[in-house]
Amino acid sequence: MSAFKKYFLQTLFKRYASFSGRASRAEFWYFVLFYCIIFLLLLMVALLFMKNPVASKIAIGALLLYGLFILIPTIAITVRRFHDSGKSGWWYLLFFLIGATCALIVDPKVVNFGGKGVKYVAYIISLAVSFIPLWWECLSGDRDANKYGDPPTYDED
């Protein structure tokens, strides 16, 4: 079975919104790889058709639909990846909220208070908060069962 079918299509169609259980590093990173490849292909198509207004809108619409379609499985596999190392999926929401708040503070069009020092601190916090989940996603999972289930295994059908 190809990695595309095993890690990407199965995640999309068999575990679309499954936030329970665990995801191995291979499942997570192959999913991210194929997600990015498809996104970049759609982006290249959109850029190729930028001079044609109708084709450009269709290509950009396809890109947006893909982003909306893939949003829930991306969150779900990230939560399952956290579970693999024994961490709660709620951490993902916390990191997102902290990062989004700091990003709003950095953007002068949204929030205009404090000096440059506040914006620099918010920027540094935003960067730090984005690296913590990345670090956790790179860690190997628990070898034995944890409170989120048994270690991930994959059928070869």
Pick the closest to residue 37 from 14, 8, 15 (CA basis): 8
Task: Using the predicted structure, report yes or no on whether residue 143 has a pLDDT greater than 90.
Answer: no
- pLDDT, position 116: 65
pLDDT in tens, 104-136: 777 666 556 556 667 777 778 888 888 889 898
Q: What is the pTM of this model?
A: 0.82
Residue 35 · residue 3 · CB < 8 Å: no
Assigned token pair, 63? 């890109």
| Residue bearing tokens 């990230």 | 78
pLDDT in tens, 54-101: 888 888 899 999 999 999 999 999 999 999 989 999 999 998 888 888
User: How would you label 124-145 residue by residue, b for 16+ Cβ within 10 Å and e otherwise?
Assistant: ebbeebeeebeebbeeebbeee
